[in-house]
Structures are given as structure tokens and as C-alpha cells.
Amino acid sequence: MVVTCCQLTEMITDRSEGKLSSEQEEGCARHLAWCDRCRTYLRQMELTIDALRGIPGEPLHDEVRAALFAQFQRRKTTAE
Ligand SMILES: [Zn+2]
């Protein structure tokens, strides 16, 4: 399936939870292969998710976490 930037940002959360179908997963992977913007978005999201899961490393301060989520929300809104 062809995945747009907008769809990809919608699917990222499900992807991190392993909820995507193999077709969706393949569409995401193909999109990420050429789209720098979504790769950056995914990287930031993964870093945030890792931090939220409490994986050892530098803890994120609450305000940093809030700022990241605000950024995701803005990107999501402008992508629509
Ligand atoms: Zn994209």
C-alpha cells in the first residue's frame, strides 16, 4: 500500500506497539526509505517512547517531554 506522510504519522504509534498489518508495515518501510521528514519524525518518536518506557539512559525532564509531544501534535496538524 502507498502511505502518505499524514498516514505515516497516524500509524507510528500503532507501529511501535506492533499493531500494523504486514501490508501497513511494508508501506511504512517503503515510505521511510525515501522520506527524510518522516524518518526524522520516527526517530524523535522512538526516542520519546524509549524515554517514556523508562529504558536506562538520560531521563527526559517533564518539560522536554511536553515540548516533544507539542511538536508532534503541531506536525500532525500541519500535515493534514
Ligand atoms: Zn513522509
pLDDT tens digits along 21-80: 999 999 999 999 999 999 998 888 888 777 777 656 555 567 677 777 777 777 666 555
Assess contact for 57 and 34: CB atoms under 8 A: no
* Cα 16 to middle of ligand 1, angstroms: 17
Q: What is the DSSP letter of 39?
A: H
What pTM did the predictor assign?
Answer: 0.59
Q: Which domain range does residue 74 map to?
A: 5-79
Given this model, what pLDDT does residue 56 score?
A: 61
* Cα 37 to middle of ligand 1, angstroms: 6
Q: Which helix H or strand E contains 80, and what residues bound it? A: none
* Cα 41 to middle of ligand 1, angstroms: 9
* Cα 53 to middle of ligand 1, angstroms: 25
Given this model, what pLDDT does residue 33 score?
A: 95
Mean pLDDT of 10-22: 87
Count of structural domains, the chain: 1
Task: Kindly list the protein residues that place their beta carbon closer than 5 angstroms to ligand 1, a single-atom ion.
Answer: 5, 35, 38
Given this model, what pLDDT does residue 61 score?
A: 67
Given this model, what pLDDT does residue 40 score?
A: 92
